[in-house]
Amino acid sequence: MAQDQIKSVQGTEDLFPDQWAHWRTLYATARRLFERYGYGEIRTPVFEDTRLFVKGTGETTDIVRKQMYSIPAGEGESITLCPEGTPSVVRAYLQANLHKQEPFQKFYYIGPMFRRERPQRGRLRQFHQLGVEAVGSGSPLLDAETIVLAVEVFRQVGLTDFGVVLNSIGCPECRPRYRDEVCRLLSDKRDELCEDCKDRLQRNVLRVLDCKEEGCRRLVAELPAVVEYLCDACAEHYEAVKAALGRAGVEFTEDPGLVRGLDYYVRTVYEIKHGGLGARDAICGGGRYDGLMELLGGPPLPCLGFAIGAEATILAMESELGSPADSAVGPAVYVVCFDEAARADAFELVQALRCAEVRADMDFEGRSAKSQMRMANKRGVRFCFLLGPDELQRREVTIKDMADGRQWSVPRDGAVQEVGRLLGAEEAEGAP
């Protein structure tokens, strides 16, 4: 590679046509299930006013303090490439005054997010999330629905080696008592904490529970569980979520150390982890964020949701299902020209096939007919249309079945219908 050739930015990746099989499966499955569960697609900008994430995601979080890509926008303003989807959805909901029309809404989004993290396998600086957000209900059944939905997405893309991890972190009424107790217990062992957690001790002590450093994990294991400090309302909510999951046949493990990394969570928090990903094993994370709407200037409406990490899920699919076969979508019909005089007619045929919803292509590089046939075979083409001097003179097309070598001639004006009939018959035979 030449020294002056520009390369991609660190922490990003290129995906070529032959790499899309698992991605297509994940995206198509998620869209189908999201909509089956009543969630409608919302698309928000990839950048927002920086204040949205400072207020919404939380100024004490690692995302806001260390990972955001923020850009000065003039006169003291700043915009930020979205590091997550939830604040944008809530902002859009409020800006459209949906709380004054039909407060209960269910959304889903699919798109890129951006965080300045240390690039590693499955963790990029531009990454992709598939998320849902349900606004306007505090029902524990809705908590359970989002978990069941995420589980169903993973099941239907073919994953089995995953599990749901569940916890409740209480509410603003009961959590302060637990936070104070954790702070008291950890303050005596401050020197044993990592540098980040020493800072968290003052800013947001519950983030210590989520630290991956071995020394911090040992200290966290000695702490009391947050569920022991839940108020009656939070405890009742948590029990109702677990009961609903049981009725839905979803198994889960309770983890008192699970707090998630965002300030806005209350009550239910959960992650879905995959056994084939090593230490960074979460493929989905979510929970309830009942205070976020009010924090962003709206009414006190309860909300919850989750985000599936696309890159992590693709790695999980590769670990269980293997690398996908070449997923580049080739033509079903390739029009072969035997001389230059046939190229205009070939182009006309290709366009007629495409208008009939048949995947079709031709040579644009001036190859010989023999080379064109080799290219058609390499691309897995099922039928070739052969156009030579005889076909041009008789206004015919010779159709060659690349599977068995048979070939026959048909009138030019009936060739598209003929191959459409053959392809349709094959699809019918392969249908379940």
pLDDT, tens digit, 9 for 90 and up, residues 29-61: 999 999 999 999 999 999 999 999 998 888 777
What would you measure as the largest C-alpha separation in the chain, in angstroms?
94
pLDDT digits (tens, 9 = 90+) for 171-211: 989 988 988 888 888 888 888 888 888 888 877 788 788 77
CATH of 333-423, one of 3.10.310.30, 3.10.20.520, 3.40.50.800, 3.40.50.10320: 3.40.50.800
Rounded Cα distance between 356 and 350, Å, is: 10
pLDDT at 429: 44
Which residue(s) pair with 252 in the sheet?
A: 164
Nearest to 391 by CA among 411, 416, 418: 411
Count of Cβ atoms closer than 10 Å to residue 158 Cβ: 14
Token digits for 344? Answer: 């205009």
**268-278: average pLDDT:** 94
Q: From its phi and psi, is residue 193 left (phi > 0), alpha (psi between -120 and 50) or beta?
A: beta
Residue 431 has pLDDT above 90, yes or no: no
The DSSP H or E segment spanning 384 is: strand 383-387
CB 57 within 8 A of CB 262: yes
> Which three-class secondary structure string do you get for 257-271?
CCCCCCCCCEEEEEE
Q: What type of residue sits at position 225?
A: A
pLDDT at 24: 93
CB 65 within 8 A of CB 262: no
Nearest to 259 by CA among 214, 300, 206, 303: 206
Give span(s): CATH 3.30.930.10, the chain. 17-174+230-321
Which residue(s) pair with 49 in the sheet?
A: 79
Superfamily assignment of 17-174+230-321 in CATH?
A: Bira Bifunctional Protein; Domain 2 (3.30.930.10)
pLDDT band at residue 122 under the 50/70/90 scheme: confident
Strand order in the sheet with 77-81: 47-49, 77-81, 69-74
Q: Look-up: residue for tokens 């219908």?
A: 417
Residue 313 has pLDDT above 80, yes or no: yes
3-state helix, strand and coil shares in percent for the chain, rounded to the nearest 5: 45, 20, 35
- Indicate the pTM of the whole model: 0.87
Give span(s): CATH 3.40.50.800, the chain. 333-423
